[in-house]
Amino acid sequence: MAQEVCCLKAQLKEKEKEIAALKKKLAQLEKSHPTVLELHDKVTPLTPLTSNPALSNEDIMRYSRQLLLPDLGVRGQLNLSKTSVLIVGCGGLGCPLAQYLAAAGIGRLGLLDYDEVELSNLHRQVLHGEENQGQAKALSAANAVKRLNSTVECIPYHLQLSSDNAVQLIQQYDIVADCSDNVPTRYLVNDACVLSGKPLVSASALRMEGQLTVYNYRGGPCYRCLYPLPPPPETVTNCSDGGVLGVVPGIMGCFQALEVLKIASGHGSSCGQQLVMFDAQDARFRSIKLRPKQPGCAVCGENPSVTQLVDYEAFCGSAATDKCLKLNLLSKDQRITVQDYKSIMDDAGPHLLLDVRPLVEVDICHLPSSLNIPLSSLQERKSEHLQLLQERISELKQQMAGDCRPPVYVICKQGNDSQKAVQVLDKMSGSEVDNIAVKDISGGLMAWAKRIDPTFPQY
Amino acid sequence: MAAPIAVHLEFGGGAELLFNGVKEHHVTLPSQSEPWDMKQLLVWIQRNLLKERPELFVQGDSVRPGILVLINDADWELMNQNACACLTAAGLDCSVGLKPAH
Ligand SMILES: [Zn+2]
């Protein structure tokens, strides 16, 4: 035994020496090769983009198929190599966009994202691979782009775009592409583009639909001309709530690449006063003629009130992230923790566990004992669901005997909808259904997966 | 007297979720003495189609911020917000789309 331990210790020491040697070698290599990408965590001034006066033989070979297009030609190709593009968001839109811009020979790509790669990103964010999980998205995207075309200069930014850095960053680029996933960032990028005089190629994708418009381009409208006021925060759905089929942002990101390339090559975009809508369900594109630039616009109008960047999270009443916000609608005694519920379950006391998620989510995973009635059915007082609920409450009452109120515990994915459901059920208790004692399970099934049952799926 | 008018309504970009997930609605607006305008149409939609949570759709006498109203593939704003002319002139072919910004 002791001998075995000694032997293992010796082996370990040997390996540690090997690792140290490898690390040293890597560091030396990285030093001698400045092409290894460096992640930027703040905005720094860039050197002007050096432009070639003519195409090299290698350029001619690489780009030959697009050089043959009269719409692009040698002049267009040289224009691409002189253009810098900032991509805000390296997700479902940003990945295909960066890929096609690099492949086509754009001069410089700024790749900005504050997130790290997660497994749930990979179905739509196609530049990242399994081995990139946990890595900064900006760096992962830049490395993938470099592999595709090493002549493109890539600058990965791992930072949160804000009122303090947006103008400084955006003014260093020729074209900006908004591939972000939240409303405050859309207003921030729009205003920074108007203040810096840069065209903004903007797209979005949600569920089975996509939209694209080029803002602030050749005298056309800006985002604020169309949407002077932000939507109420509770009406905004994001991908982590609403879901999205990966290919839909894929199509819209490719569409963005097309418009960026048309602008960069000198051909020009026709989406300056136009909204392109893509309906994936019907496989249909529609072009909507938009209003012109609005003289009363707060940022691009005749008497702008926004002359420098403002606080966009305050303006929109929501955070600049697509992560879910935690609601707090109930008092402390109306909520229990997942640990509390675990002991209730273990004690096998009579109770009803009500899962208020939509059916599509219940199909993904659920707790075996739960009854599913979606929040919307409760809100709309769907009769068949109320009947079902009343039946289960009656059964509980029989089991419990006596006149106490049967306990009902409400659960959802993250504990927001379940709080709303508790409010609805509280109103119904004693009138539409028998008296019940309703409580919310704080943090929902995702808290259950994290703290109680690590084998429970997370989505 | 304006005759009854057939209108093709479309809700998209998530707005359809307020209408039981149904994107397209073919409706007939009843005859009334004045030509229909967008304000009246929104009131009609709210009374006849929208069952739940009107605050997610209307604000004051217009749609809530973030929703774009389109008429026959054009921004409503291009009609000087005077949709009645369009609604009556376009008759059967008139389609109104309401899309929230993503
Ligand atoms: Zn504007």
| Residue B95 pLDDT level (bands cut at 50, 70, 90) | low
Q: What is the mean pLDDT of residues A328-332?
A: 89
Name the DSSP letter for residue A199: -
Contact list, B20 vs chain A (CB under 8 Å): none
Q: What is the mean pLDDT of chain A?
A: 92
Find the chain A residues whose C-beta atoms sit closer than 8 A to any C-beta of B. 183, 186, 204-207, 209-211, 226-232, 234-237, 242, 275, 277, 279, 286-291, 376, 379-380
Quick one: pLDDT at residue A272? 95
pLDDT at A217 > cutoff 70: yes
pLDDT tens by residue, B62-84: 888 888 888 878 888 887 655 44
- Distance from the B77 Cα atom to the nearest Cα atom in chain A, whole angstroms: 6
Q: What is the length of chain A?
A: 459
Cα(A168) to centroid(ligand 1), Å = 20
- Coil, strand, or helix at residue A248? helix
Q: What spacing in Å lies between the alpha carbon of A305 and ligand 1's midpoint? A: 11
Model pLDDT, residue B101: 58
Q: Which residue shows structure tokens 């009500």?
A: A354
Annotated binding residue A120: yes
Taking an 8 Å cut-off on Cβ atoms, the answer to whether A289 and B75 are in contact is yes
CB A276 within 8 A of CB A255: yes
Give all domains of chain A, ordered by start, each with its CATH number.
57-316 (3.40.50.720), 332-452 (3.40.250.10)
Residues of A in contact with B78 (CB under 8 A): 289-291
Residue A385, pLDDT > 70, answer yes
Whether pLDDT at A360 is above 80:
yes
A123 is in an annotated binding site: yes
Q: Which residues of A are catalytic?
A: 239, 412
- At A259 the pLDDT is 98
Nearest of B48, B50, B43, B52 to residue B11 by alpha carbon: B50
- Span A287-298, average pLDDT: 94
Selection from A340, A452, A453, A361 nearest residue A407 by Cα: A340
DSSP letter (8 states) at residue B9: E
Q: What is the pLDDT of residues A418-435, one digit of tens each?
A: 999 999 999 999 999 999
Give B22's contacts (C-beta < 8 A, 6+ positions apart): B11, B16
For chain B, which residues make up each domain, given as ranges? 5-100
Ligand-binding annotation for A204, yes or no, is no
- Distance, in Å, from the CA atom of A158 to the CA atom of A155, rounded to the nearest integer, reads 10
Average pLDDT over residues A106-130: 96
Q: Is CATH 3.10.20.30 the right assignment for the domain spanning B5-100? A: yes
Contact (CB<8Å) B74/A226: no
What pLDDT, on a 0 to 100 scale, did the predictor assign at position B90? Answer: 45
Confidence of residue B94 (pLDDT cuts 50, 70, 90): very low
**Residue ranges of the alpha helices (H) in A63-115?**
64-67, 73-81, 94-104
Task: Specify the pLDDT at position B10.
Answer: 87
Please give the average per-residue pLDDT across A221-229, as a whole number.
95
Report the residue of B24, B59, B62, B102 to disrupt the A interface, i.e. the one with the largest count of A CBs within 10 Å.
B102
Quote the ligand 1 centre to A162 CA distance (angstroms): 20
Q: What is the pTM of this model?
A: 0.80
pLDDT at position B102: 55
Collapsing DSSP to helix, strand or coil, A207 comes out as: strand
For A209, the token pair is: 């639909």
Q: How far is CA A205 from CA A17, A276, B58, B67, B98, in A?
A: 50, 12, 23, 16, 17
Whole-number pLDDT of residue B80? 60
pLDDT tens for A30-89 read: 666 555 688 999 999 999 998 788 999 999 999 999 999 999 999 999 999 999 999 999
The encoded tokens of residue A327 equal 């609601």
Residues in chain B: 102
Question: ipTM of this predicted complex?
Answer: 0.80
Label residue A324 by pLDDT band (50, 70, 90): low
Share of chain A above pLDDT 70, in %: 96
Mean pLDDT of all residues in A307-330: 83
The pLDDT value given to residue A132: 96
User: 10 Å Cβ neighbour count for A399?
Assistant: 11
The chain B residue lying nearest A206, using CA atoms, is B102
β-pair type (A209-215, A108-112): unpaired
Between A198 and B16, the more confident residue is A198
B73 → chain A, closest CA residue: A288
* % residues pLDDT > 90 (chain A): 80
